[in-house]
Amino acid sequence: MNLIEQARLAKKASSSLRMLDSETRNRVLLTFADLLIRNSDEVITANREDLTEAENSGMSSAMLDRLMLNEARIKAMAEGIRQVASLEDPLGKVLEDRVIPSGIRLKKITVPIGVIGIIFESRPNVTADCAALCFKSGNACVLKGGKESYRSCKAIVDAMKEALQSCGVSEDAVMLAERPSHAETAEFMKCREYVDLLIPRGGRNLIRAVVENAEVPAIETGAGVCHVFVDAAADLKMAEEIVINAKCSRPSVCNAMETLLVHEAAAKAFVPQIVSLLKEKGVIIYGDEKARALCDGLKEAEEASWSTEYDDLIMNLKIVSSVQEAAEHIETYGTHHSEAIISEDDESVRYFMESIDSACLYHNASTRFTDGFEFGLGAEIGISTQKLHARGPMGLSELTSYCYRLEGKGETR
């Protein structure tokens, strides 16, 4: 089926979703989880076909691993779906309830957004994850995964459709794009009539392509050039632990540190020590002139280094003369994701917190905590790095909008 036709059907289904009660939505999700387990064999067979084709076409082993499903991974997916079912209902929440000057009673209430289009790479688990989050929040969704994972995604969506049907809900609530052409995908991203929101999940190129080509509102997610600033008045032992954690605990994720900024007053005591620890962990470091003067073996940082998201055991190191210079550097080269200051000085901390325009600002903690689960949202559909609608980790609440319901007694104006 054509992708625009799928979007049209999803839009139609979304009107009935808006009226489903919480219990029915949860029943669908629990059934979906059970069916995924029950259909494990079909899912794994479909996945094998995807894997064979991908292998033959020369996919890298890292990508093949992301594409691969086995019993344990299917179990983890089902567990994730059950967890989403157990979360608090984000719909029907009364955000405001007051009487406006005319005497009318105004209630501001959370409602679904409508139809959410999710564009992602060849990772089948994203299918289950997004289908569950969108459905729990009353939204229909159109999922467009990488074409290499189509059979796997289809087996997962088939289970969701079976769950929807068995609970008497329109199957069109979850749509999987059927390997659409580029032209079809481009049209989909402009289809404001049927699609209310686009969320790109994946690498920078994917996100950029969506943001530049979409007319449907899109949320930018995941670009993370995150910074840690070690101030003059830092507890250096704490700084050491946080820097190692922020860089090394999982370098491939967006909340990992890419650039370390060190106050010149702390540089002599801190830099040689941290560089040696980082090197032990295999980290390659690009340093500015001052940093290179303090220790050997640093590569020379270039202008482009400061805005590079390495997603790997590679980082930048720069010596700054003040918290102001640190903040200015972050504003110039950062992606407004997550930044940390390590300091015992209240004035520096205040300046850092108030002057930097990022989604998450940490004092004496690692940037690695920027994550829906760590924030207690129970789930995450992405980390927004834009300022409209949602910022930082997006959970179920961020997949809702609101409306005003006004109760009068015949008021006119």
Residue 297 is which amino acid?
G
Half-sphere exposure of 224 (CA within 13 A, CB side): 33
Counting contacts by CB under 8 A, is residue 332 touching its own copies? no
Eight-state DSSP code of residue 232: T
H/E stretch holding 228 reads: strand 226-230
Torsion of CA 366, 371, 374, 379, to 10 degrees: -170
Site string for its own copies, 372-411 (x = CB under 8 A): --xxx---------xxxx-xx--------xxxxxxxxxxx
For its own copies, the closer CB: 153 or 341: 341
Q: How many residues does the chain have?
A: 413
Counting contacts by CB under 8 A, is residue 413 touching its own copies? yes
For its own copies, the closer CB: 113 or 163: 113
How far CA 56 is from CA of 16, 53, 179, 180, 356, in Å, comes to 43, 5, 19, 22, 48
Counting contacts by CB under 8 A, is residue 280 touching its own copies? no
For its own copies, the closer CB: 32 or 352: 352
Which of 11-19, 23-31, 34-42, 80-88 is the region at the interface with its own copies (rule: CB under 8 A)? 11-19
Counting contacts by CB under 8 A, is residue 170 touching its own copies? no
Counting contacts by CB under 8 A, is residue 24 touching its own copies? no
CB of 363 to its own copies, least distance (A): 5
For its own copies, the closer CB: 36 or 142: 142
Counting contacts by CB under 8 A, is residue 309 touching its own copies? no
Which of 122-130, 211-219, 225-233, 293-301 is the region at the interface with its own copies (rule: CB under 8 A)? 211-219
Please state, in angstroms and rounded to a whole number, the distance separating the CA atoms of residues 311 and 250. 9
* 106 in Cβ contact with 406 (< 8 Å): yes
Please state, in angstroms and rounded to a whole number, the distance separating the CA atoms of residues 380 and 395. 5
Please state, in angstroms and rounded to a whole number, the distance separating the CA atoms of residues 326 and 145. 39
Interface with its own copies (CB under 8 A), residue total 67
Please state, in angstroms and rounded to a whole number, the distance separating the CA atoms of residues 80 and 272. 43
Of 15, 45, 86, 276, which lies in the binding site for its own copies, with binding defined by CB under 8 A? 15
H/E stretch holding 110 reads: strand 105-112
Of residues 292, 287, 278, 320, the one with CA closest to residue 306: 287
Structure tokens at 328: 């200015």
For its own copies, the closer CB: 95 or 293: 95
Of 186, 209, 238, 314, which lies in the binding site for its own copies, with binding defined by CB under 8 A? 238
Of 217, 268, 276, 280, which lies in the binding site for its own copies, with binding defined by CB under 8 A? 217
Counting contacts by CB under 8 A, is residue 42 touching its own copies? no
Counting contacts by CB under 8 A, is residue 366 touching its own copies? yes
Backbone region of residue 298 per phi and psi (left: phi > 0; alpha: psi in -120 to 50; beta: other values) = beta
End-to-end CA distance of the chain: 49
Counting contacts by CB under 8 A, is residue 360 touching its own copies? yes
Query: Look-up: residue for tokens 């650039």?
Result: 259
Of 3, 7, 113, 226, which lies in the binding site for its own copies, with binding defined by CB under 8 A? 113
Which of 41-49, 62-70, 170-178, 238-246 is the region at the interface with its own copies (rule: CB under 8 A)? 238-246
Which of 160-168, 233-241, 270-278, 305-313 is the region at the interface with its own copies (rule: CB under 8 A)? 233-241
Counting contacts by CB under 8 A, is residue 304 touching its own copies? no
Please state, in angstroms and rounded to a whole number, the distance separating the CA atoms of residues 376 and 17. 26
Structure tokens at 316: 């930048």
Counting contacts by CB under 8 A, is residue 122 touching its own copies? no
H/E stretch holding 197 reads: strand 197-201
Please state, in angstroms and rounded to a whole number, the distance separating the CA atoms of residues 14 and 116. 10
Counting contacts by CB under 8 A, is residue 307 touching its own copies? no
Which of 42-50, 51-59, 237-245, 296-304 is the region at the interface with its own copies (rule: CB under 8 A)? 237-245
Q: Which of residues 55-94 bind its own copies (CB under 8 A)?
A: none
For its own copies, the closer CB: 46 or 381: 381
Residues forming the site for its own copies (CB under 8 A): 15, 18-19, 98, 100-102, 104, 106, 111, 113-114, 192, 196-197, 211-212, 215, 217, 219, 235, 238, 241-242, 244-246, 249, 331, 353-355, 357-366, 368-370, 374-376, 386-389, 391-392, 401-413
